[in-house]
Amino acid sequence: MSRSAHPAGPRHADVLPEGHYAAPPADLNALDAKVWAQTVTRDADGVLTVAGLRVTDLAEQYGTPAYILDEADFRSRARAWRTAFGTDADVFYAGKAFLSRAVVRWLHEEGLNLDVCSGGELATALSAGMPADRIAFHGNNKSTEEIRRAVEAGVGRIVLDSFQEIVRVAHIAQSLGKRQRVQIRITVGVEAHTHEFIATAHEDQKFGIPLAGGQAAEAVRRVLQLDGLELIGIHSHIGSQIFDMSGFEVAAHRVVGLLKDIRDEHGVELPEIDLGGGLGIAYTSDDDPREPHEIAKALSEIVTRECEAARLATPRISVEPGRAIVGPTAFTLYEVGTVKPLDGLRTYVSVDGGMSDNIRTALYDAEYSVALASRTSDAEPMLSRVVGKHCESGDIVVRDAFLPADLAPGDLIAVPATGAYCRSMASNYNHVLRPPVVAVKDGEARVIVRRETEEDLLRLDVG
């Protein structure tokens, strides 16, 4: 293979500019199993493979950029959550992480339930045959039309997010002659993110009804008075990309405190408690996520202990992992277009996608890893920044990573752990076409969301 030589980028031995990176890894060709989908490996030629398929062949057949999703990995993670929580708890996959009809079918087959937060997600779930009673409907401003469709379809629960919504849902349910099962989403003043959590956070956010000041208790009073509503539980979601279980501990303590107050005031013990999602995954080798069975054990111990102390029967627990199920199952495959070394700084590697297929780096300063995928290399590590093709200097996919110094246009690189919040947050910025999602399993690939075409773009533009 002939590769055009170009001046090598800065070496790790140089004084490095500020960044998120540590030292370059000992072996740039090695794949850390933590960040890659289960079936990813390299073949004898050094080409990255997934489900037995070479990425070079996938790129040729489906083009780049493309999200490549390991179906067996998705199913096994979904199953691991389902088994870990057993029959005394419910696992709702948070559809906003990534939803398509194939995903809905896999979830259905693996015995999971589904969270939706818009009419579009609800339509996707129903069209793929998810039974309505296994769907939970979330959102801080559901439209009356969305609520009506959800109640009509018979969704298993609507998670009430505001005082206005209590009345809206009750009214719609009554007008349809139904009694809708609901939970109330409360904010418990816990904010959890990655390795820290704050137990005394302000309830300064758009979601939920604050526990503080008696607002949640007042919401419960109102819901219990309305014939159209059946209150089945209390919901709390404390953050995202969480590794530290202590945030859940404080949240559960406060939710159970409310359940106890409800029992004391109304004489009812609510049967369910939903602790939300937010469990972290490994984006880089520095992240150490917990296994579903450890999370299940920790959560059920916390809730049982809190309920015993409050002399309440332990309610049924539900959890809502999104990222933790789909995040690790996919990687984005890109082709390198240009390589620009800046002496003493870093090398800019431009790929054929960018912030339109992964907004998380620009939006949250998220960290990702990257690997040369179409071959291996013995070249020295080169401090790199993987950037997209958009007209925006914040268009960064991987802020700081090491790639081999002989990287050249035409190479394929892969960014792992892009299964969650990448395709689902993808945009058409610069009229760039959104990439396909290709599901791979046992040596076979199939497109589950096709690549957008210029025709698709122009169809919306009615002149």
**Number of amino acids touching ligand PLP (CB under 6 A):** 17
Q: How far is CA 414 from CA 40, 48, 239, 342, in A?
A: 11, 9, 28, 23
Q: Which residues contact 166 (CB under 8 A, 6 or more apart)?
A: 160, 219, 222, 223, 226, 229
Whether residue 65 has a cis bond before it, omega within 30° of 0: yes
- Judged by beta carbon, residue 168 or residue 237, the one nearer ligand PLP is 237
Applying CB under 6 A, the span of 31-39, 89-97, 196-204, 212-220 interacting with ligand PLP comes to 89-97
Query: If binding is defined by CB under 6 A, does position 181 make contact with ligand PLP?
Result: no
Determine if 97 is a binding residue for ligand PLP (CB under 6 A).
Answer: yes
Annotated active-site residue 391? The verdict is yes
Q: Is 324 in the site for ligand PLP (CB under 6 A)?
A: yes
| One residue of 80, 279, 382, 448 binding ligand PLP per CB under 6 A | 279
Question: How far apart (Å, rounded) are the C-alpha atoms in residues 9 and 28?
Answer: 15
Q: Which of 117, 307, 391, 422 is catalytic?
A: 391
Q: Centre a 10 Å sphere on the Cβ of residue 221 and count the other Cβ atoms it contains.
A: 13
CA 66-96-336 angle, to 5 degrees, is 20
Give the Cα separation of 343 and 341 in Å (integer): 6
Q: Which of 322, 416, 435, 436 binds ligand PLP (CB under 6 A)?
A: 322
Contact by Cβ (8 Å): 243, 287: yes
Question: Among residues 56 and 241, whose Cβ is nearest to ligand PLP?
Answer: 241
- Examine residue 323 and tell whether it contacts ligand PLP (CB under 6 A): yes
Nearest Cα neighbor of 49 from 446, 369, 374 is 374
Q: Which is nearer to ligand PLP, 97 or 229 (CB)?
A: 97
CB of 66 or CB of 324, closer to ligand PLP: 324
If binding is defined by CB under 6 A, does position 245 make contact with ligand PLP?
no
Cα distance between residue 44 and residue 215, in whole Å: 62
Instruction: Select 99 or 279, whichever has its Cβ closest to ligand PLP.
Output: 279
The answer to the question of residue 277 lying near ligand PLP (CB under 6 A) is: yes
Stretch that binds ligand PLP, among 43-51, 61-69, 104-112, 271-279 (CB under 6 A): 271-279
- Exposure string for 324-334, b = 16+ CB within 10 A, e = fewer: bbbbbbbbbbb
Which stretch, 13-21, 76-84, 219-227, 277-285, contacts ligand PLP (CB under 6 A)? 277-285
Binding site for ligand PLP (CB under 6 A): 94, 96-97, 115, 138, 237, 240, 276-279, 320-324, 420
Which sequence positions are flagged as catalytic?
Answer: 391
